[in-house]
Homo-oligomer: A and B are copies of this chain.
Amino acid sequence: MTNQPKAPETVGRVGEEVVLETLRAAVDPHNSAVTGTSMDLGPGDDAALLTATAGAQLVLTTDTMSEGQDFRREWWLGSAELSALAGESAEKWAMDVGTKAAAQNLSDINAMGAVPTALLVSLTLPADLPVQWVKDFYRGVIRACQQPGAQRCVIAGGDLGTGEQISVTITAVGELPREAEGQPAGGLRRSGATAGDVLAVCGPLGRAAAGLAFLEMPRDELTDPEKLHHLDQHADLLAQVLTAQQCPTPPLTAGPAARAAGATAAMDISDGLLRDAGRLARSSEVRIEFDDGALLVEARTLEPIAIAVGSTPDQALSWVLGGGEEYALLASFPAVVELPEGFRRIGTVADANGAPGVITGSAVESIGWDSLA
């Protein structure tokens, strides 16, 4: 382990049974503390048992996060300068990976307008990883379940294996409560947007991408006094974009709120605003027209980070348009609906006229982004 004190206990040395005990010691108190859980049998048998709420639909999603592909340990353990700026450590690394792996699945449940009830966690771990990492990882998963909107969510089970790199697969189970009158059948799908709707978003845009750009910046640039002074001046914003990338908190009450308000379609932004809006537009067979002005306002706040990583201010708009792993909630609402708290308007939905997709204004086109839509 680079940059870490010698670990007294590693996953490989203590063996599977001890690691399982360790994680049970983290998970059981959380599960016991969850009120309103539907779990009848938790980790430890061949499978977990839950009782679904009568009449509720079941919502299921799964996502994998792999070291190297989705995160690098150097983002947390990279340099003294990074530690000074962002308070990084091995503990934060493990907790953040747990939180993010859970959050991206909870976000998918949220995007259907549903409430998460259980997670299953499958971990592949290198033998030289400290057992403490597993404890901290589960603390991170539990932290994600303690966010508003996820409080009914237990950790129902999982699997443990060894491999050369860390890989985490989480499956989230949720419930879509029985429909009230006026709610779309079967949750918030991508396919329900209608001409005349307002397009709105809940949660910041472009921050995770800005955070990633900072984390991937050559570390020796962090020794430049001028750059450090600039970053010092924008320390709060830097902390926000790093948190958005390393330890995101999707707006987990926004999905059910959007459904209750009568949203016609929704999806979370995991591959970038324009790309995901394009998918929603094609699923719904509509044309989405973005409000250039609204997007430029979103971008302006990120310009100090664009400058910090050595880009032009235009980079900030690119992050807003194309940044992945955002977990903001994109939704369409009938024009007469008052947007639920936290949603802001970023465009309108129009007839496809035979060409479903996304239209952006001249400011967006000027930086070469129209081709993606």
Contacts and interface: CB of A to CB of B under 8 A. Distances in A.
Interface of A: 40-41, 45-52, 54, 56-64, 66, 68-70, 107-109, 111-112, 114, 118, 120-122, 124, 156-159, 161-165, 167, 169, 171-174, 176, 186-187, 189-191, 266-268
A51 to B, nearest CB: 6
A124 B158 contact: no
A109 to B, nearest CB: 6
A62 B171 contact: yes
Nearest to A56: B52
Nearest to A54: B54
Given A50-B57, A59-B48, A268-B46, A163 B165 contact: yes
B114 A62 contact: no
B176 A167 contact: no
Interface on chain A toward B: helix, strand, loop, or mixed SS? strand
A40 B120 contact: no
Contacts of A171: 60, 62, 120, 171
A54 to B, nearest CB: 7
Nearest to A163: B66
A52 B49 contact: no
28 contacts: A45-B191, A46-B109, A46-B112, A46-B268, A47-B59, A47-B60, A47-B108, A47-B172, A47-B174, A48-B60, A49-B59, A49-B186, A50-B60, A54-B54, A58-B58, A58-B173, A60-B171, A61-B120, A61-B157, A62-B120, A62-B157, A62-B159, A62-B171, A66-B124, A69-B163, A164-B165, A171-B171, A173-B173
A57 B191 CA distance: 31
Contacts of A176: 49
Contact of A62 (B49, B61, B108, B158): B158
A52 B58 contact: yes
Interface-central residue, A45, A47, A176, A267, by most chain B CB under 10 Å: A47
B112 A49 contact: yes
Given A60-B173, A167-B167, 10 more contacts: A46-B107, A46-B268, A47-B59, A47-B112, A48-B60, A50-B60, A60-B157, A69-B161, A69-B162, A169-B169
A50 B112 CA distance: 13
Given A54-B54, A163-B165, A169-B122, A47 B61 contact: yes
Nearest to A61: B47
Contacts of A54: 54
A122 B41 contact: no
Contacts of A186: 40-41, 49
Nearest to A104: B159
A64 B189 contact: no
B60 A156 contact: yes
A121 B61 CA distance: 10
B68 A163 contact: yes
A21 to B, nearest CB: 14
A277 to B, nearest CB: 14
